[in-house]
């Protein structure tokens, strides 16, 4: 049995529901599952045992005690994420998500009580992916240390850190012409590592430029190989806003584009909204130059910050990527549907393409089409793949269309 390196705390005053929830998490393979009746007992336990990865809390109708529990645990930094048992409406859940997010805690989702294994499993998978931790066997022996700058520099130089590609697709036709470039570390000892494992360290050691140019090299080589096979594709790269102010960015970019004979018009640069609070003259100049070269500029995770509309007016964006959080509950949240519709209308008015992230199910696809959405990204189409896997995948898609 594979064990999940996840520590869980169940907070539930009802003894039977507490027992059921505890058993569900244990059967799911979580390493450590603890249970208490109230927030006082939770704080006492966590003070002895340390923080947990996931807390399960209940919000009962007509009672705000559960909200107090969530707030106290979040402020104390004892939990990384939370699953909430709740019967409240979706619009209230949206507000709770925002409140908890302000404490730096992620809401993995909402479940009924008593808790069912089928409801918990996808939330555990979501935690594993976003937190960048991985299933391990009990004999694994614990965590790894990746704190050496020299180790990270060597990993980039030796091509252990690889570009992976996730398609942006047409919701109606399924056509794919563009991919977002993501990063994975194929570690010789620990296997495939996700960005949360090492990106904070790369940023701390000021190695983000080295990562970008390594990804760009791999991405341009992929575009060349795809073109040889008859696929004319575009790529989107993620950059932190301050990287656009570095003087080496544009000269190195131009040199590499010329070497691979790839026009800048086949590249888009995605900048997260949270990184756009302050834009220096140097950053703005680089953005303008990229647009003049024909490259696209995308505002990523749109809708989760506080300056979206202002930045859309100030900076030369060509694309809006709507955060996946709006897609996750779009079938139950009228507010999320309204945000998606409004963003689509805004994109049309500003002549910007809108890409909706986080599309994972056929029902979401159909709902988005009804709202007028065309472009999307998410597991419904494909998970991130290596360059070699993408080329095989494209050939399979081409073959399947030929057989229709």
In sequence order, the β-bridge partners of residue 4 are 30
Q: Which two tokens stand for residue 190?
A: 């620990």
More confident call, 31 vs 137? 31
**pLDDT value of residue 268:** 98
**pLDDT value of residue 294:** 95
* pLDDT greater than 60 at residue 161: yes
Taking a C-beta distance cutoff of 8 angstroms, is the pair 31, 54 a contact?
A: no
* pLDDT greater than 60 at residue 305: no
Report the alpha-carbon distance of residue 163 to residue 132 in Å, rounded. 16
Instruction: Select from 3.40.50.2300, 3.30.1300.10, 3.40.120.10, 3.30.43.10 the CATH code of 4-140.
Output: 3.40.50.2300
**pLDDT value of residue 286:** 92
Query: Phi first, then psi: what are they for 207, rounded to 5°?
Result: -110, 10
In this structure, of 199-208, 284-293, 300-309, the range with the lowest mean pLDDT score is: 300-309
Task: Tell me which H or E stretch contains 109.
Answer: strand 106-111
Give 139's pLDDT tier (boundaries 50, 70, 90): very low
Q: What is the DSSP letter of 2?
A: P
Give 228's pLDDT tier (boundaries 50, 70, 90): very high
Helix (H, G, I), strand (E, B) or coil at 257: helix
Q: Is the dihedral of CA 66, 68, 69, 70 positive or negative?
A: positive
More confident call, 34 vs 137? 34
In this structure, of 100-114, 129-143, 329-343, the range with the lowest mean pLDDT score is: 129-143
Give 9's pLDDT tier (boundaries 50, 70, 90): very high
Report the alpha-carbon distance of residue 381 to residue 360 in Å, rounded. 8
* pLDDT greater than 90 at residue 94: no
Q: CB neighbours (10 Å) of residue 366?
A: 12
What's the Cα-to-Cα distance from 394 to each of 137, 168, 278, 382, rounded to whole Å? 34, 13, 40, 11
**pLDDT value of residue 178:** 97
Task: Return mean pLDDT, the chain.
Answer: 85
Write out the catalytic residue numbers.
357
Domain 149-402: assigned CATH number? 3.20.20.450
Give 67's pLDDT tier (boundaries 50, 70, 90): confident
Distance of CA 79 to the CA centre of its chain: 20
Q: Is the dihedral of CA 265, 267, 351, 276 positive or negative?
A: negative
More confident call, 92 vs 266? 266
Query: Phi first, then psi: what are they for 171, rounded to 5°?
Result: -65, -30
Report the alpha-carbon distance of residue 167 to residue 389 in Å, rounded. 12
Q: How many residues would you count in the chain?
A: 404
Q: Which two tokens stand for residue 189?
A: 């000892």
Residue ranges per domain, the chain?
4-140, 149-402
Looking at the chain, the whole-number percentage of residues with pLDDT higher than 70 is 90
Q: Which two tokens stand for residue 215?
A: 């990804």
Task: Tell me which H or E stretch contains 27.
Answer: helix 15-27
- Report the DSSP pairing between strands 296-302 and 319-322: parallel
């Amino acid at each position: 049995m594979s064990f999940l390196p996840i520590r869980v705390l169940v907070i539930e005053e009802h003894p039977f529901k507490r027992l059921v929830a505890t058993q569900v998490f244990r059967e799911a393979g979580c390493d450590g599952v603890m249970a208490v009746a109230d927030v006082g007992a939770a704080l006492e336990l966590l003070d002895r045992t340390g923080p947990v990865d996931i807390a399960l809390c209940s919000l009962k109708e007509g009672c705000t005690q559960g909200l107090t529990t969530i707030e106290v645990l979040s402020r104390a930094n004892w939990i990384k994420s939370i699953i909430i048992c709740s019967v409240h409406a979706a619009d209230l859940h949206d507000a709770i998500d925002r409140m908890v997010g302000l404490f730096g805690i992620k809401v993995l989702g909402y479940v009924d009580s008593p808790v069912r294994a089928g409801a918990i499993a996808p939330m555990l998978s979501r935690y594993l992916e976003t937190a960048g931790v991985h299933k391990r066997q009990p004999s694994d022996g614990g965590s790894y240390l990746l704190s050496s700058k020299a180790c990270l520099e060597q990993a980039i130089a030796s091509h252990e850190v690889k570009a992976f590609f996730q398609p942006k697709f047409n919701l109606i036709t399924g056509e794919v012409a563009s991919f977002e470039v993501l990063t994975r570390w194929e570690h010789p000892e620990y296997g495939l590592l996700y960005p949360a494992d090492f990106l904070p360290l790369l940023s701390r050691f000021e190695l983000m430029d080295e990562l970008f140019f390594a990804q760009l090299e791999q991405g341009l080589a992929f575009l060349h190989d795809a073109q040889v096979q008859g696929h004319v594709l575009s790529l989107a790269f993620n950059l932190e806003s301050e990287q656009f102010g570095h003087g080496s960015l544009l000269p190195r970019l131009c040199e590499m584009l010329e070497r691979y004979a790839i026009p800048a018009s086949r590249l888009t640069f995605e900048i997260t909204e949270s990184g756009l609070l302050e834009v220096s003259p140097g950053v703005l100049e680089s953005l303008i130059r990229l647009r003049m070269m024909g490259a696209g500029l995308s505002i990523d995770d749109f809708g989760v910050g506080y300056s979206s509309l202002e930045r859309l007016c100030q900076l030369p964006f060509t694309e809006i990527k709507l955060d996946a959080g709006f897609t996750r509950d779009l079938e139950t949240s009228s507010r999320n549907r309204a945000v998606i519709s409004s963003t689509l209308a805004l994109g049309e008015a500003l002549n910007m393409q809108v890409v909706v992230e986080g599309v994972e199910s056929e029902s979401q696809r159909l709902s988005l089409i009804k709202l007028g959405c065309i472009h999307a990204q998410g597991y419904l189409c494909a998970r991130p793949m290596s360059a070699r896997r993408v080329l095989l995948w494209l050939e399979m898609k081409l073959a399947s269309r030929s057989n229709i």
